[in-house]
Structure 1
Amino acid sequence: MLSKALVLRTKQLDHVLCEKEVLEALSFPFIVNVYASFQDELYLYLVLEYSIGGEFFTHLRKANRFPNDTARFYAAGVILTFEYLHNRNIVYRDLKPENLLLDAHGHLKVCDFGFAKTVEPGTNTWTLCGTPEYLAPEIILNKGHGKAVDWWALGVLIFEMLAGYPPFYAEDRMQLYQSILAGKIDYPRHIKKEAKDLISRLLTSDLSRRLGNLKGGALDIRTHAWFKGFDWEALINRTMSAPISINVRSADDASMFDDYDDDDGPDIGAGKVRPDQQQLFAGF
């Protein structure tokens, strides 16, 4: 449920409409399904598949860091999702643990497509968007960017899953960007050499060398040594057991989600929307 007034005030209308349009056009095992959308005078409603396993971010923080095989399993789900999106010329642009959910079987569900955008082959987009720690150098430098930014973000995610923290971090935003542009990564000793190699080949500012952005596309990543022996067919068919077990009592159990303060009530951000503004939401 989204307040129309808040959407307009925060200039999120394009993102909201884009998310609805993109999600309605997609159907993939590791992307959250949208079942319906409607509106009233004050709110927009988007009915999404309930991912009862909760937020991936919460599971990662509770574990501190994931074992190699767990990180590999969830990285593989992201890779297949990006391959699916990129084949349809859609760039996701907002990968981070907070935008991943788990279903009842512990399998991945990618959500939050507010920054997703169709980018035709041979063209770039220029919007500065995404989570600072996950931004690719070409976004920071405003050089124009395409599908390759998703593969950079994958490298950040793999590192964070294995280390328990992102490869680039600073309290100051500009220092963070400088760290990303410098590209120096300190790997914890426990990270396997195959994982290090994959991460380093994803986190390269040279687009002509970044895995996923080469002629072989996502296949170059799926055939990397870190995935040696990995059963991609079993993953896409969801016959592979997930490494995280989801223990719930019923189909509407919400115990896997953190509690959030709702003292402000349902009317937070609500406000009247003028008739001329209502037209902006036509077709939602």
Structure 2
Amino acid sequence: MDVDLPTEPVVPLQVRRQTGSYRLSDFIIHRTLGTGSFGRVHLVRSKHNLRFYAIKVLSKEKIVRMRQVSHTRNEQQMLMAVQHTFIINLWGSFQDSANLYMVMDFVPGGELFTLLRRSNRFPDPVAKFYAAEVALALNYMHSLDIIYRDLKPENILLNADGHIKIADFGFAKHCNTNAWTLCGTPDYLAPEIIRNERYNKSVDWYALGVLIFEMLSGLPPFHEPDASHVVLYEKICAGPAAIRWPPFNALAQDLILKFLEHDPTKRYGNLKHGAGDVFAHPWFREVDWDKLRKREITAPYLPKIASAGDASAFEKYPEDNVAATYGQPVDDLYGDMFPDFDYAGV
């Protein structure tokens, strides 16, 4: 098959991108953008260039207690290795005695998940636009031997111009052969992950099939809202025969089925032509891949943003004065476990 693959600037994983040197006192913390098991993401403004950023603050004690040291270090290392228009930028990282800090893009449009829930489902051209941008990002990551492993609408952010930024690399892994760790979001897990088999980068293409289905229908294909994960995993392992198909575009359904192929050796994105099969699929026929990569195609939805620091697209969280605790001197029991996070003081 002759297909012109989108050209991507490749950064070898061992060559890390240039990041800045930061400390907490460089920023004014405005509000919380999100919370998680290990800490929070804050909207901050630089005192120096006055730009807005998002800072992820992670408790070292919680990371160690929940055995997430390798995932946390992986996230930083993966973000230092990638530089792509549809992937969030890591500008720098540092630590103090209690916390890790990662300075990243502030992406003001919020999560694709929020837009999808508000819309209920996307029209076929809208789902195609976001799927195509995700496909470009996945192809770039795979060219660096990175498996992303956590594709879902919550991890796809919308920039001010409506184009995507993939975030949250906590499950990403540099791997040029196979992996076997059980991780990811249940609805998006490929059957080989559930069966505890070795797997490769094709699990990301499987997840893209799930994402396309969810964007077109409003829910993932095997979704079980009130059942245990056991029932969900049984349906995933049963395959497409367990799916109740809404009236999709026939070409979209064909591509979804090729992504949800049970046998990874027969799955689209993992065949002889790799991602070339994905880009050449008839559902994507009208996509100009080079223009899309350059963000020269107008996005289907433009976030309503009043100003540079407008965070109204994000849910409000109680602040609990947590920011006042950052930088306080405590016994540092875990600093040597995160050697790539600079000690920059406060």
Displacement of 1:277 after TM fit? 2.2
The 2-side partners of 1:260 and 1:188 are apart by 36
Displacement of 1:241 after TM fit? 0.3
Q: Which residue of the partner structure matches residue 230 of structure 1?
A: 287
Note the alpha carbon deviations across 1:49-91, whole angstroms, 9 max, x for none: 1101111111111111101001000000110011101111111
How do 1:50-199 residues align onto structure 2 when only pairs under 5 Å count? 50-120=106-176, 123-170=177-224, 171-183=227-239, 184=241, 185-189=243-247, 191-199=248-256
User: How many residues get paired?
Assistant: 281
User: Aligned match of 2:104 in 48, 57, 61?
Assistant: 48
Q: Secondary structure at the match of 1:54?
A: coil
State the one-letter code of the partner of 1:39. Q
Cα RMSD of the aligned pairs, angstroms, is 1.8
The 2-side partners of 1:180 and 1:79 are apart by 22
Q: Which residue of the partner structure matches residue 262 of structure 1?
A: 319
The worse-fitting range, judged by mean Cα deviation, of 204-213 and 125-134 is 204-213
CA shift in 2, pair 1:42/1:276, >3 Å: closer
Displacement of 1:96 after TM fit? 0.6
Displacement of 1:262 after TM fit? 3.5
Unaligned runs of 5+ in 2: 1-56, 342-346
State the one-letter code of the partner of 1:200. L
The 2-side partners of 1:277 and 1:73 are apart by 43
Q: In the alignment, is the contact (CA less than 8 A) between 2:72 and 2:170 conserved in 1?
A: yes
Unaligned runs of 5+ in 1: none
TM-score, normalised to structure 1, is 0.94
- Percent of aligned pairs with the same amino acid: 48
Q: In the alignment, is the contact (CA less than 8 A) between 2:99 and 2:326 conserved in 1?
A: no
From the two aligned structures, give the one with the greater strand fraction: 2
Q: In the alignment, is the contact (CA less than 8 A) between 2:97 and 2:327 conserved in 1?
A: no
State the one-letter code of the partner of 2:125. D
Q: In the alignment, is the contact (CA less than 8 A) between 1:60 and 1:161 conserved in 2?
A: yes
Q: Secondary structure at the match of 2:306?
A: coil
TM-score, normalised to structure 2, is 0.78
The 2-side partners of 1:244 and 1:268 are apart by 38
Runs of 4+ off more than 3 Å:
261-276
